A and B are shown apart, each in its own frame.
Chain A
Amino acid sequence: MTEHDDREIREALKQSFPAMNTELRRDLWPAVLRKLDVHVAPVPWYDWALIGLSATVFLFFPQLILVFAYHL
Chain B
Amino acid sequence: MDLLRRFALGEIDAFETLVRQFQGDIYAWIVRIVRDPGIAEDLTVETLWRIYRTRQQFRPDGNFAAWARRIATNLALDHLRRKRPEQSLLAEPAGAPQSDHLLQRETREKIQQAFRRLPAKLQVAATLALVEEQPYDEIANALGTSVGAVKLRVFRAVRILRKQLNHLGLGPGVART
Interface residues of A (CB under 8 A from B): 1, 5-29, 31-33, 35-36, 39
Evaluate whether A21 and B37 lie within 8 angstroms (CB atoms) in the complex, with A10-B130, A16-B177, A32-B45 already known. yes
Contact (Cβ within 8 A) B28 A23: yes
Contact (Cβ within 8 A) B27 A9: no
The interface size of chain B toward A, counting residues with CB under 8 Å, comes to: 45
Contact (Cβ within 8 A) A28 B44: yes
Confirm or deny: B108 has a beta carbon within 8 angstroms of a beta carbon on chain A. yes
**Inter-chain contacts of A33 with B (CB < 8 A):** 16
Q: Which of B60-68, B85-93, B136-144, B145-153 lies on the face that meets chain A?
A: B85-93
Q: Which chain B residue shows the least CB distance to A17?
A: B131
Confirm or deny: B165 has a beta carbon within 8 angstroms of a beta carbon on chain A. yes
Evaluate whether A18 and B49 lie within 8 angstroms (CB atoms) in the complex, with A9-B165, A10-B130 already known. no
Contact (Cβ within 8 A) B28 A22: yes
Residue from the list A1, A18, A26, A28 in contact with B94, Cβ < 8 A: A18
**Inter-chain contacts of A22 with B (CB < 8 A):** 27-28, 31-32
**Inter-chain contacts of B175 with A (CB < 8 A):** 7-9, 11-12, 15
Confirm or deny: B3 has a beta carbon within 8 angstroms of a beta carbon on chain A. no
Q: Which chain B residue shows the least CB distance to A22?
A: B28
**Inter-chain contacts of A7 with B (CB < 8 A):** 175
Report Cα–Cα, A39/B44, bound state, in Å: 17
* Given A24-B44, A35-B46, 6 more pairs with CB closer than 8 A: A14-B130, A17-B35, A24-B27, A24-B41, A32-B45, A32-B52
Contact (Cβ within 8 A) A29 B27: no
Report Cα–Cα, A39/B52, bound state, in Å: 11
Contact (Cβ within 8 A) A28 B92: no
